[in-house]
């Protein structure tokens, strides 16, 4: 029995021993060698000589029987048998009927002249006249077109095998890579791979979180909804600006639901091969039905969901085929299969209408930038992981970061930690957060930027003009600080304000904002009698606001209550106003900005002494905070109205 087991074991080992496999590459090598050998043996071997040897030792001694010029390039020399000595005859006895010598020529005419010159002393009846022949080497001709094909096939086979090796058992698909082209490469999260993020990690998005939690609750407790006849939304679309937490919400949904979670990007469906995108969509939804109940998350869905029919070529391209397949799959779920599609985009205006209709993406959730309370909650989430000093307050940080999204708040916390580590501190204090906020708003501080004293003075007065206008205008935003430290690429200084948390702006508020923005340019003209290029960004903003007030918000009496927004729809309708109206808008915008400019100049002339005080101290300290303005100017007159 033992011997039989050993023999069986040895037999199995022999079976497991990999046998050498036949390779097409060896076949290509053999074919090339055959052609190469035929080309060699098909050519009669000759001895190469030069013209002088041929002329002196053969032609003039009368040993040449005949000459053959082949393809106007090569001369074959046939020697008389009686002229061959014994040794030479022995060497070439195998090919006495063929040429024994050969040499190359550059020009037929030149060769004939040389030959006539060499035979001028030889009697005419003994002179040799060359015969011309054209010969084709069929082996070379065949190789000229078959060899490139062999090389291409060999390279293709090499790449094919390399790709097969990468996509084998340790790779993504295994086997033939071209057979896996139509397979979806969505990442599946289930079981032990569960995501550790839950809804407690998502702060500042309470309304959106409630909407998503309903979907998760349906996956956990479907009977509660089914007994009432309710149907879960087939698709949930998360929209909003970049960095607001759409992908984070999807991760929290995956972590809370406890069901299989497929994650893929919209660009993963797009390939250069026709039909691959649609095949990957089919494969993804097939896997989803097999894992039901589950969630399929498609990030940046606008990559495949763009509106159809806007292509100038009017062709049904690969992207549209992929979108069509996605529409069919989303609307083709059987009722017993609980598969929810979750998608995210920051460009919902680009999506096709068929994708947004009820039955596909039933629920659209907008995730916007958080308000002051939302920012406070987001700061609290990120501050838990940091070592903080006693003076750090999440409420104060939230007030200093208006308009910040969740990603920007996370960046501020990280920059504050880096700043504290750079200073070798044991904890992160408010100074580090102030530096981090300045870093995010204005860019990197340029400590070594060369600025002349004259430029520094102009910058100081320019920023003072903004600050004074903001201090004495009723509807201006509250001032936080003024700095003349260069930051970023172009900013030589900046004034930081805390914008009000509001959605509607009155005409008076917009006028005060324009006057505050013009303050830097006006104070340069008022103090120095000259202007600089430092107001370029200010003028750009005021021009945009002026045209918006006149052409969009209907805040001009002559133009009237119209909103002339350029429309882009399926009819490609351009500007909805005439050239005369355009001239009227230009005239009214110019007139309006000049009126604001005159109002700003009148205000700054009134407070010129205060401008001198603030500018001088700003040049000395480089940064002034709100407390410094209160010390120099007194309390802001309109503080109670903010």
By the 8 A CB rule, do 297 and 264 touch? Answer: yes
Tokens representing 58?
């053969």
Question: Residue 57: its pLDDT value, please?
Answer: 79
Other beta carbons within 10 Å of 199 = 17
Q: Cα-Cα-Cα-Cα dihedral of 413, 416, 422, 424, to 10°? A: -100
For 257, what's the count of Cα atoms within 13 Å in the CB-facing half-sphere?
A: 29
Question: Residue 521: its pLDDT value, please?
Answer: 92
Q: What is the DSSP letter of 340?
A: E
Other beta carbons within 10 Å of 307 = 17
By the 8 A CB rule, do 219 and 285 touch? Answer: no
* Residue 536: exposure state from Cβ atoms within 10 A (0-12, 13-18, ≥19): exposed
Give the Cα separation of 418 and 359 in Å (integer): 48
What ranges in 569-642 are assigned the alpha helix state H? 579-606, 608-621, 626-633
Q: In sequence order, what DSSP letters do the residues of 291-341 get, joined into one string?
A: T-SEEEEEESTHHHHBPTT--TT----HHHHHHHHHHHHHT---TT--EEE
Find the helix or strand (DSSP H, E) in which 343 lies.
strand 339-345
pLDDT digits (tens, 9 = 90+) for 372-419: 888 898 999 889 888 888 888 888 888 888 888 888 899 999 999 999
Closest CA to 375 of 358, 349, 348, 397: 397
* Residue 50: exposure state from Cβ atoms within 10 A (0-12, 13-18, ≥19): exposed
Give the Cα separation of 329 and 354 in Å (integer): 13
Domains annotated on the chain, with CATH: 44-136 (3.40.1690.20), 184-366 (3.40.50.300), 372-441 (1.10.8.60), 453-641 (1.20.58.760)
Closest CA to 55 of 133, 107, 128, 132: 128
pLDDT digits (tens, 9 = 90+) for 52-109: 888 787 887 778 888 888 877 788 888 876 655 534 444 444 344 567 788 888 777 8
Question: Residue 586: its pLDDT value, please?
Answer: 92
By the 8 A CB rule, do 231 and 268 touch? Answer: no
pLDDT means per 10 residues in the chain (642 residues)?
Answer: 47 44 56 57 68 80 81 80 50 52 81 81 78 69 70 72 50 46 68 71 82 83 82 85 86 82 82 71 85 85 79 58 83 66 88 85 86 88 88 86 86 91 89 85 66 84 89 83 71 72 84 91 90 88 93 90 67 67 92 94 91 88 83 76 43
CA distance from start to end of the chain: 98
Give the Cα separation of 76 and 514 in Å (integer): 96
Question: Residue 603: its pLDDT value, please?
Answer: 92
By the 8 A CB rule, do 269 and 280 touch? Answer: yes
By the 8 A CB rule, do 108 and 67 touch? Answer: no
Q: What is the reported pTM?
A: 0.63
**Rounded CA Rg of the chain:** 43
Question: Residue 131: its pLDDT value, please?
Answer: 80
For residue 151, what are the CA distances in angstroms to 28, 145, 158, 193, 561?
Answer: 9, 11, 11, 46, 73
Give the Cα separation of 569 and 511 in Å (integer): 33
Question: Residue 25: its pLDDT value, please?
Answer: 55
Residues labelled as active-site residues: 463
Residue with tokens 């509660």: 224
């Amino acid at each position: 029995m033992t011997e039989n087991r050993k023999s069986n074991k040895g037999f199995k080992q022999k079976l497991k021993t990999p046998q050498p496999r036949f390779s097409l590459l060896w076949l290509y090598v053999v074919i090339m060698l055959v052609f190469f050998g035929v080309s060699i043996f098909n050519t009669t071997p000759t001895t190469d000589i030069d013209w002088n040897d041929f002329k002196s030792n053969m032609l003039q001694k009368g040993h040449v029987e005949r000459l053959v010029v082949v393809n106007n390039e090569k001369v074959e020399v046939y020697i008389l048998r009686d002229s061959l000595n014994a040794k030479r005859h022995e060497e070439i006895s195998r090919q006495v009927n063929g040429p024994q010598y050969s040499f190359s020529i550059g020009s037929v005419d030149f060769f004939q002249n040389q030959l006539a010159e060499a035979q001028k002393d030889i009697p005419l009846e003994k002179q040799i006249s060359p015969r011309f022949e054209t010969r084709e080497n069929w082996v070379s001709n065949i190789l000229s077109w078959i060899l490139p094909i062999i090389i291409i096939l060999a390279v293709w086979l090499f790449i094919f095998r390399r790709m097969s090796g990468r996509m084998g058992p340790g790779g993504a698909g295994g086997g033939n890579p071209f057979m896996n082209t139509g397979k979806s490469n969505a990442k599946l999260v289930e079981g032990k791979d569960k995501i550790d993020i839950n809804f407690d990690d998502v702060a500042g998005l309470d309304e959106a979180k409630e909407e998503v939690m309903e979907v998760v609750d349906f996956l956990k407790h479907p009977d509660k909804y089914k007994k009432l006849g309710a149907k879960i939304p087939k698709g949930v679309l998360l929209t909003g600006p970049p960095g607001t937490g759409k992908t984070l919400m999807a991760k929290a949904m995956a972590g809370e639901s406890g069901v299989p979670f497929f994650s893929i990007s919209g660009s993963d469906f797009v390939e250069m091969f026709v039909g691959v995108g649609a095949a990957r969509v089919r494969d993804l939804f097939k896997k989803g039905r097999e894992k039901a109940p589950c969630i399929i998350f498609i990030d940046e869905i606008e990559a495949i969901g763009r509106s159809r029919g806007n292509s100038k070529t009017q062709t049904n391209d690969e992207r549209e085929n992929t979108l069509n397949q996605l529409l069919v799959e989303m609307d083709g779920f059987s009722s017993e299969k609980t598969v929810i599609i979750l998608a995210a985009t920051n460009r919902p205006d680009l999506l096709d209408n068929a994708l947004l209709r009820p039955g596909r993406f039933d629920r659209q959730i907008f995730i916007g930038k958080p308000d002051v309370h939302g920012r406070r909650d987001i700061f609290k989430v990120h501050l838990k992981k940091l070592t903080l000093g006693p003076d750090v307050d999440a409420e104060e940080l939230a007030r200093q970061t208006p308009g910040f999204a969740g990603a920007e708040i996370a960046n501020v916390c990280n920059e504050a930690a880096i700043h504290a580590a750079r200073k070798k501190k044991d904890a992160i204090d408010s100074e580090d957060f102030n530096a981090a906020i300045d870093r995010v708003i204005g860019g990197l501080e340029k400590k070594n930027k060369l600025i002349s004293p004259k430029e520094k003075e102009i910058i100081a007065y320019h920023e003072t003009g903004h600050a004074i206008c903001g201090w004495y205008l009723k509807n201006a935003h509250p001032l936080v600080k003024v700095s003349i430290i260069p930051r970023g690429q172009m900013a030589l200084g900046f004034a930081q304000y805390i914008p009000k948390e509001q959605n509607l702006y009155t005409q008076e508020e917009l006028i005060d904002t324009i006057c505050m923005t013009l303050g830097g340019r006006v104070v340069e003209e008022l103090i120095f009698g000259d202007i600089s290029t430092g107001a370029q960004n200010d003028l750009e903003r005021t021009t945009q606001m002026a045209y918006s007030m006149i052409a969009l918000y209907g805040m001009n009496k002559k133009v009237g209550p119209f909103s002339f927004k350029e429309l882009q729809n399926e009819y490609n309708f351009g500007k909805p106003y005439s050239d005369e109206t355009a001239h009227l808008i230009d005239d009214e915008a110019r007139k309006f900005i000049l009126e604001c400019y005159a109002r700003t100049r009148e205000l700054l002339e009134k407070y010129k002494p205060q401008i001198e005080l603030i500018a001088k101290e700003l040049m000395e300290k480089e940064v002034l905070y709100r407390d410094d303005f209160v010390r120099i100017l007194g309390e802001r007159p309109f503080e109670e109205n903010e």
